[in-house]
Amino acid sequence: MTGKLRNYINGQWINSRGHAFLDVINPATGDKIAEVPAGSGEDIKYAAEKAHEAWLTWQNIPATQRIQYLFNMKRILEENESEIAAICTRECGKTLAESKGEMLRAIENIEVACGIPKLMQSGFSEDIATGIDEFYIRQPLGIGACITPFNFPIMIPFWFMPYAIACGNTYIVKPSEKVPMTMTRIFELFEELDLPPGVLNLVHGGKETVDALLEHPLIPAISFVGSSPVAKYIYQTGASHGKRIQAQGGAKNPVVVMPDADMESAVKIISDSAFGCAGQRCLAASVVITVGQTGEEFVKEITRAAGAKRVGNGMSDDVDMGPVITKESKERIETLIQKGLDEGATLLFDGRGINVAGCEGGYFTGPTILGNVNPASEIYNTEIFGPVLCILHTPTLEDAVSLINQSRYGNAACIFTRSGAAARKFRHDTKAGNIGINIGIAAPMAFFPFSGWKESFYGDLHGQSLHAVEFYTQTKVIIERWHDEWTRKF
């Protein structure tokens, strides 16, 4: 699995029908490590035809049998944890511990999807009128597909795919072209599953491939995770082709620190949230709002915590934070930091210009903290998606919540406090899909939906849990009356 990557369609590794390739780069070194097909609509056409053929049989295999493949999927991921994590770190930059962490989240989703025979169960009402019964069943839609971002190459396809296939759909995974190697290796390992050809397919590519997915008449449901402008485009374009769409977008997650917070643990948790995965998590803390008298002490402590982060190649065990994904991303982040300073923010900790010995070609930006950030400024309102924390201050919790609710994003919001009343008010009043109380990354477990509000989500049903089951099935209501001898009262 080096050199030129191939697609996996109908149980076979085949070359893309497009001829262009994109470089896959190790962001810790700047070295080219593979080439990924830029993709072609023809790849999707072929994958959709084969996935449809497979679906004609797969939909009729009992759910209890379909989930047997998932039990093996879980085992394969567990047995190959170290190898998969290393590939993920190499192409994505995060630390090995972070790669293993997302692997756990993938496995949790497989475990929940193993409960599909129960999760797909429906309702039955006997005698809605004398001798007439009514019930509904859930049936698969056909072919599902996911289009995923660069920052969680292992986990994110598993928010959708295990549920979809366990419900009786066949599936196409389209990973980010920046990190295509991890899913390629996972598919190689999944050959051991011996799934019927066409049930699980992998197609690489960029916009042309995505557009072909959005337009193909045999594909009724698409899950997307990525930036908000693309999420909106996917939602609008997919819907205009009559598809079900769930599209998770970008974020700018605020954290409120109340005067009664346990400062030591709040600082540790917030610095891990803001700088872990180099700030490239959709649930990362990117804005801290200190309330009342909290400001000075928090700034002193978070600055110290930022200085303690060890930045380097994620392959080394003694590293807390790896590089950002591309050269362009590093340049964009550092331009935004300068913009923030030009807009009047104070530089509390500067991560620019960091040198990592032995990784001179890597794309490193260290933890950076800006204080006195103006809520009207570009740095406050833009998703930076890097290790940059903006700090501002409000006199009261009400002011903080009001500020948060003006954001166009609504992925997550957290509060640090010892007050049950403040926490309760915050969780009720704040307009965001995932709320953390003394939590830095409000990531829902697999048996909860991965929520998201406002421009952080386009659609109705989210990924994971029962939402994923509902998204990948349609209900059929049946009303039945039988002959007299079936309904006669004895």
366 binds ligand NAD (CB under 6 A): no
Query: Which residue in the shown chain puts its C-beta closest to ligand NAD?
Result: 226
Q: Concatenate the DSSP letters of all residues of 115-158 into one string.
A: THHHHT---EEEEEETTEEEEEEEEE-SEEEEE--SS-TTTGGG
Q: Can residue 101 be called a binding residue for ligand NAD (CB under 6 A)?
A: no
Closest CA to 314 of 476, 109, 102, 16: 102
Locate 396 and state its tokens. 């009261």
Site for ligand NAD in 19-38 (CB under 6 A): none
Q: Which stretch binds ligand NAD (CB under 6 A): 13-21, 173-181, 360-368, 418-426?
A: 173-181
Work out how close the CB of 341 gets to ligand NAD at its nearest, in angstroms, rounded to a whole number.
23
Q: Which of 385, 416, 471, 472 binds ligand NAD (CB under 6 A)?
A: 385
User: What count of Cα atoms within 13 Å lies in the side-chain half-sphere of residue 141?
Assistant: 23
Composition of the chain by helix, strand, coil, percent to 5: 40, 25, 35
Task: Based on the shown chain and the rule CB under 6 A, indicate whether residue 190 belongs to the binding site for ligand NAD.
Answer: no
Task: Tell how far CA 183 is from the center of its chain.
Answer: 14
Q: Which two tokens stand for residue 216?
A: 């193909």
114 is catalytic: no
Q: Which is nearer to ligand NAD, 104 or 477 (CB)?
A: 104
CA dist 394 and 293 (Å) reads 10
273 lies in the site for ligand NAD, by CB under 6 A: no
Query: What is the rounded distance in angstroms from the CA atom of residue 193 to the CA atom of residue 184?
Result: 15
Any contact of residue 322 with ligand NAD (CB under 6 A)? no
List binders of ligand NAD among 423-482 (CB under 6 A). Answer: 450, 452, 456
User: Is residue 248 a contact point for ligand NAD (CB under 6 A)?
Assistant: yes
Rg (CA), the chain: 24
Q: Does residue 382 touch ligand NAD according to CB under 6 A? A: no
Indicate the residue among 93 and 149 with the shorter CB distance to ligand NAD: 149
Residue 359, both tokens: 């990784």
The CA-atom distances, in angstroms, between 453 and each of 72, 150, 408, 457 are 35, 21, 9, 5
Other beta carbons less than 10 A from residue 108's beta carbon = 17
Q: Is 303 in the site for ligand NAD (CB under 6 A)?
A: no
Q: Measured from the CB of residue 246, what is the shortest distance to ligand NAD in angstroms?
A: 10
What is the spatial distance between Cα 258 and Cα 438, in angstroms, rounded to a whole number?
Answer: 11
- By CB under 6 A, the residues from 280 to 299 that bind ligand NAD are 282
Q: Using CB under 6 A, which of the segments 45-53, 56-64, 135-143, 245-253 binds ligand NAD?
A: 245-253
Report the residue from 186, 225, 336, 379 that binds ligand NAD according to the rule CB under 6 A: 225
**Catalytic residue of the set 146, 282, 359, 414:** 282
Q: Which positions are catalytic?
A: 282
Residues that bind ligand NAD (CB under 6 A): 147-152, 174, 176-177, 206-207, 210, 225-227, 230, 233, 248-251, 282, 383, 385, 411, 450, 452, 456
